[in-house]
């Protein structure tokens, strides 16, 4: 199974470093946390006072046969028990709301950060790993912050207080109990190290399993069609088995250590009992003191027993914090420059220039684009034609800055795109990709993704242009929630909605990656006719694989292995470029004549179409 390429090995140095860095999320809840501690410590103190009162009861009223004193001290013990119970309730009530609040705050920041990361970063992380980080890892951290951390503090305070009280009651026996902390400390240290590694491995494997589930859910039709379900089940089985084995190893590690954490205090208790009874027989320890000593020592059993669970919980949280910080520490490389400017749509003419543009994907060998020189005039439509893998989609992705140019620059009306505010640029540039992605939200929300302020007329116009009137006939019209990835729609329907989304708000520059590939000939002709009207006053860059799409363009640029090798009209390139002929018209007698189609609806540059020309539903 492919490992998550972005997964770093376990952090070297202090494994708690990244957990400590998350303390800023604790700050808004500092007051609650202080109250939690006060409630917890007071409850612990109330609990500790009980054995001391029992000592007084045994050595006092019981020894003196004093019923009044017995009732008084007995009532006090009862009251302390009640106080402890109320404080424990207050602590539990408060800790739930604050820890869930912290988890939500980290998750919101993680999600917002993911949105800022460039597309290249998302290629590095498997989606399942991201899902695991945003869900499982965060609940690990919540559990530690709400339970583990609090119990760690309370249990340490309990142990410390008990040992001090024991030393005061009987110094030799008290010191013996204190000495039992040494083996516990050594065991804890070894356990923490081993558990951290196992916890990290398990989280990675959980992410891989989540990725497999996500991939198989998305690709269910492909796997069914190819009858590959048994292979996928086997592949999933390997991943699930590895996860199972790690979980078992981790559980056994905890079980072994917990046994030691059980053994040490019980052994010490045995030694104390024997030695304490001997001391009581010699008269150096009263019966009441012995009862109090043993009762106090019994109060150590749970804190020590739970130490294994607390360390495990802390290591799980530390691992989760490492994985969360890996994402948060990845800097968003495509950001606004300090003096980035805003351009208003009305002032943009739309001259798009590529000046010696070069680009290579990080980690890939040769650059995908080299020395690209291209100018698209305002209102001009330029088709980009090239063999598969020649870099057409990559070139298009540089315009809305989904990737950043490596060398050279791209300008819009003379402004380097990197000098424009990202929000401005993405409002000015409308994009439709070859594989249209629709989100699991309503058609309306999908359409207005880039223009949440769009009004109904604009949406109607965009739908009409993309020949997407079918959207009105969906069960709830534009309010219909389309399934994950828009799977409830056909490929052509999704493509038309994506096109409507791209043209909504009449962007200054349209970037379309083979936008009509899934349409039937009739619908394609209708969309093209409508697109031609829009393209009159919009600069457009369109990837074209077919002469019918080239028909939309004024000029065509031929891209060959990352370089623009020719620019001209379709007829010019057909005549002068054998490579172009091979790509678009391998069979010249049957090759339609795009320029003739284009002439049928003449392109008028510079004229601004009215809203009515965008069309509305008849």
Ligand X SMILES: Nc1ncnc2c1ncn2[C@@H]1O[C@H](COP(=O)(O)OP(=O)(O)OP(=O)(O)O)[C@@H](O)[C@H]1O
What is the binding site for ligand X (CB under 6 A)?
Answer: 123, 361, 364, 368, 386, 388-394
Smallest gap from Cβ 120 to ligand X, in A, equals 7
Helix, strand, or coil (residue 118): coil
Helical segments of 58-66, H only: 63-64
Exposure string over 500-519, b if 16+ CB within 10 A, otherwise e: bbbbbbbbbbbbbbbbbbbb
Mode of pairing for the β-strands spanning 407-412 and 509-513: unpaired
Nearer to ligand X, 253 or 552 (CB): 552
Would you state the structure tokens that stand for residue 417, as one six-digit string? 């795109």
Q: How far is CA 489 from CA 131, 154, 461, 592, in A?
A: 25, 56, 21, 31
Is residue 301 classed exposed, middle or buried when 0-12, 13-18 and 19+ CB atoms within 10 A define those classes? middle
Nearer to ligand X, 391 or 430 (CB): 391
Q: Are 384 and 542 in contact (CB under 8 A)?
A: yes
Nearer to ligand X, 309 or 361 (CB): 361
Question: For residue 41, how many C-alpha atoms fall within 13 Å in the half-sphere facing its CB?
Answer: 11
Nearer to ligand X, 137 or 513 (CB): 513
Would you state the structure tokens that stand for residue 232, as one six-digit string? 């996928």
User: How would you classify residue 414: left for phi > 0, otherwise alpha for psi between -120 and 50, otherwise beta?
Assistant: left
Rounded to a whole number of angstroms, the CA Rg of the chain reads 35
Angle at 589 between CA 583 and CA 592, to 5 degrees: 65
Torsion angle, alpha carbons of 8, 9, 13, 16, to 10: 70
Nearer to ligand X, 169 or 398 (CB): 398
Nearer to ligand X, 2 or 68 (CB): 2
Nearer to ligand X, 404 or 593 (CB): 404
Q: Are 430 and 515 in contact (CB under 8 A)?
A: no
Nearer to ligand X, 391 or 615 (CB): 391
Mode of pairing for the β-strands spanning 539-543 and 509-513: parallel
Helix, strand, or coil (residue 456): helix
Q: What is the DSSP string of 240-258?
A: HHHHHHHHHHHHHHHHHHH
Nearer to ligand X, 218 or 258 (CB): 218
Smallest gap from Cβ 571 to ligand X, in A, equals 23
Nearer to ligand X, 62 or 387 (CB): 387
Smallest gap from Cβ 262 to ligand X, in A, equals 53
Q: How far is CA 500 from CA 462, 514, 598, 601, in A?
A: 5, 14, 22, 21
Rounded to whole angstroms, how far apart are CA atoms 524 and 264?
79
Helix, strand, or coil (residue 592): coil
Nearer to ligand X, 122 or 344 (CB): 122
Q: Which helix (H) or strand (E) holds 505?
A: none
């Amino acid at each position: 199974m492919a490992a998550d390429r972005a997964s770093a090995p376990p952090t070297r140095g202090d494994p708690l470093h990244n957990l400590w860095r998350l303390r800023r999320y604790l700050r808004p809840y500092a007051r609650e946390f202080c109250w939690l501690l006060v409630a917890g410590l007071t409850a612990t103190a109330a609990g500790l006072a009980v054995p001391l009162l029992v000592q007084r009861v045994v050595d006092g009223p019981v020894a003196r046969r004093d019923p009044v004193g017995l009732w008084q001290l007995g009532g006090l013990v009862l009251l302390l028990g009640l106080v402890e119970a109320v404080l424990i309730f207050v602590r539990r009530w408060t800790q739930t709301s604050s820890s869930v609040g912290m988890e939500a705050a980290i998750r919101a920041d993680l999600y917002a950060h993911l949105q800022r990361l460039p597309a290249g970063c998302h290629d590095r992380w498997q989606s399942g790993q991201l899902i695991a980080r945003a869900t499982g890892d965060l609940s690990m951290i919540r559990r530690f912050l709400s339970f583990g951390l609090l119990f760690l503090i309370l249990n340490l305070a309990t142990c410390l207080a008990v040992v001090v009280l024991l030393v005061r009651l009987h110094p030799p026996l008290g010191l013996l109990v204190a000495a039992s902390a040494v083996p516990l400390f050594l065991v804890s240290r070894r356990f923490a190290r081993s558990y951290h590694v196992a916890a990290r491995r398990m989280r990675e494997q959980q992410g891989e399993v989540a990725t497999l589930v996500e991939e198989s859910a998305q690709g269910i039709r492909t796997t069914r069609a190819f009858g590959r379900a048994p292979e996928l089940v086997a592949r999933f089985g390997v991943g699930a088995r590895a996860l199972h084995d790690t979980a078992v190893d981790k559980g056994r590690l905890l079980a072994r250590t917990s046994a030691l954490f059980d053994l040490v205090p019980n052994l010490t208790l045995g030694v104390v009992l024997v030695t304490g009874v001997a001391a009581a027989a010699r008269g150096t320890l009263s019966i009441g003191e012995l009862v109090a000593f043993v009762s106090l020592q019994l109060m150590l059993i749970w804190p020590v027993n739970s130490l294994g669970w607390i360390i495990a919980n802390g290591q799980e949280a530390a691992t989760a914090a490492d994985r969360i910080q890996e994402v948060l520490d990845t800097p968003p490389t495509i950001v606004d420059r300090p003096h980035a400017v805003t351009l208003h749509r009305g002032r943009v003419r739309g001259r798009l220039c590529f000046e010696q543009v070069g680009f290579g994907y990080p980690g890939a060998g040769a650059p995908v684009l080299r020395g690209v020189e291209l100018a698209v005039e305002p209102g001009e439509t330029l088709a980009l034609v090239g063999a598969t893998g020649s870099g057409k989609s990559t070139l298009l992705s540089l315009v809305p800055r989904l990737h950043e140019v490596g060398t050279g620059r791209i300008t819009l009306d003379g402004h380097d795109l990197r000098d424009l505010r990202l929000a401005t640029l993405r409002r000015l540039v409308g994009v439709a990709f070859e594989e249209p992605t629709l989100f699991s939200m309503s058609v309306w929300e999908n359409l207005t993704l880039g223009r949440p302020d769009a009004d109904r007329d604009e949406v109607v116009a965009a739908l009409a242009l993309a020949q997407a009137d079918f959207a009105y006939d969906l069960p709830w019209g534009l309010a219909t929630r389309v399934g994950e990835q828009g799977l409830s729609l056909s490929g052509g329907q999704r493509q038309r909605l994506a096109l409507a989304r791209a043209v909504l708000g009449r962007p200054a520059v349209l970037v379309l990656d083979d936008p009509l590939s899934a349409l039937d000939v009739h619908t394609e002709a209708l969309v093209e006719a409508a697109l031609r009207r829009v393209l009159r006053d919009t600069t457009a860059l369109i990837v074209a694989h077919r002469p019918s799409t080239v028909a939309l363009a004024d000029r065509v640029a031929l891209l060959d292995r990352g370089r623009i090798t020719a620019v001209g009209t379709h007829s010019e390139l057909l005549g002068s470029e054998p490579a172009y002929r091979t790509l678009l018209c391998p069979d010249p007698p049957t090759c339609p004549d795009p320029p003739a189609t284009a002439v049928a609806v003449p392109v008028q540059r510079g004229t601004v179409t009215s809203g009515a020309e965008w069309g509305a539903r008849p």
